Structure 1
Amino acid sequence: MIPIRSVIVSAVLLSKQDGQVKILLMKRVKELFWSHVAGKIEQGETAIQAIVREVREETGVQVQILYSADYLEQFYEASSNVIEMIPAFVVYCEPQQEIILNHEHTEYGWYSLAEALEMAEFGGQRLLYQYLWDNFIYRKPSDLLKIKIH
């Protein structure tokens, strides 16, 4: 048996950089790969509270516009023998959004979809980024996915 676990949330931050929508990727200190925001849900938090906190902690961004991505990242974690199910969120940031990294990342950049797909370490990341572009950039997302955070 392989247990299914859901204790992590993730968010893809999008911002117009020099007139083009780009995705934020950060290089993780521990694993040395490029990724979007992700982190564990703390005791007593909802997924929404956790992702707002994680975005603020990892990037310094105060979330204003938040959507459910209507997407679950999923992968097998061999070291724990679990299948991780991670609800993904989308954060629309201000144009030319500034980022202040915390200790979890060594560097960051805003990248086009093509660049992000090339940099993504895992197939699941590439699927997520393409899905988000198709459903949040190329078309307007459903208002039903918008999350009120204030």
Structure 2
Amino acid sequence: MIPINTQFVSGVALSEFDGDTKILLLKRTKGEYWCHVAGKIEDGETGWQTIIREFDEETSIKVSQLYNSEYLEQFYEAKSNQLVVIPSFVVLCERHQEVILNPEHTDYQWCTLEEAKAIAPFHNQHKLYDHIWEQFVLSPPSEQRKISLT
């Protein structure tokens, strides 16, 4: 049997820079690879509350517009023999959003879709970014996906 791990959530931030939408990627200290924001759900939190906390902790971004991306990142982790299933969210940021990194990351970059896919190492990341680009950049997001933060 392979257990399913659903302890984590992820979020992709979008911001506009000089008329172009960009995706935020962070370079992790551990493993030194590029990724989007992610984190473990703590006791008493919902998934959406976790991603708001993680954005604040990892980037100092105060989330005001949060959407369900309707995409599940999923992969098999051989080391722990688990299927990992991660609900993903989209954060629509202010134009020219500033980022202040915590020690979990050494660098950040606001990327075009092509740039994000060029530096993110995992195929599942590329699929997530394609999905978000199609659903949140090329067309306006559905209001049914918007998460009320109150």
TM-score per shorter chain, which class?
over 0.9
**Matched residue of 2:118: which SS?**
helix
Measured after TM superposition, the shift of residue 87 of structure 1 is 0.3
1:64-94 deviation digits (Å, cap 9, x = unpaired)? 0000000000011111110000000000000
Q: How does 1:126-137 map to 2 (within 5 A)?
A: 126-137=126-137
Match of 1:112 in 2: 112
Q: In the aligned structure 2, how far is the partner of 1:19 from the partner of 1:100?
A: 22
Match of 1:144 in 2: 144
Gap regions ≥5 residues in structure 1: none
Q: Which amino acid aligns with 2:59?
A: T
**Matched residue of 1:102: which SS?**
coil
Measured after TM superposition, the shift of residue 29 of structure 1 is 0.4
TM-score, structure 1 as length reference: 0.98
Q: In the aligned structure 2, how far is the partner of 1:100 from the partner of 1:111?
A: 17
Measured after TM superposition, the shift of residue 19 of structure 1 is 1.7
Match of 1:12 in 2: 12
Q: In the aligned structure 2, how far is the partner of 1:43 from the partner of 1:77?
A: 23
Match of 2:53 in 1: 53
The list of structure 1 runs, each at least 4 consecutive aligned residues, that deviate by more than 6 angstroms after superposition, is none
**Matched residue of 1:13: which SS?**
strand
Q: How does 1:43-82 map to 2 (within 5 A)?
A: 43-82=43-82
Gap regions ≥5 residues in structure 2: none
**Matched residue of 2:134: which SS?**
helix
Q: Which amino acid aligns with 2:119?
A: M
Q: Which amino acid aligns with 1:7?
A: Q
User: Please, what is the CA RMSD of the aligned residues?
Assistant: 0.6
Matched pairs, number: 150
Match of 1:24 in 2: 24
Q: Which amino acid aligns with 2:139?
A: R
**Matched residue of 2:117: which SS?**
helix
Q: Which amino acid aligns with 2:5?
A: R
1:22-73 deviation digits (Å, cap 9, x = unpaired)? 0000000001100000000001111111110001100000000000000000
**Matched residue of 2:106: which SS?**
strand
Percent identity (aligned) = 53
Measured after TM superposition, the shift of residue 5 of structure 1 is 1.1
Q: In the aligned structure 1, how far is the partner of 2:31 from the partner of 2:146?
A: 32
Q: Which amino acid aligns with 2:62?
A: Q
1:40 aligns with 2:43: no
Q: In the aligned structure 2, how far is the partner of 1:92 from the partner of 1:141?
A: 10
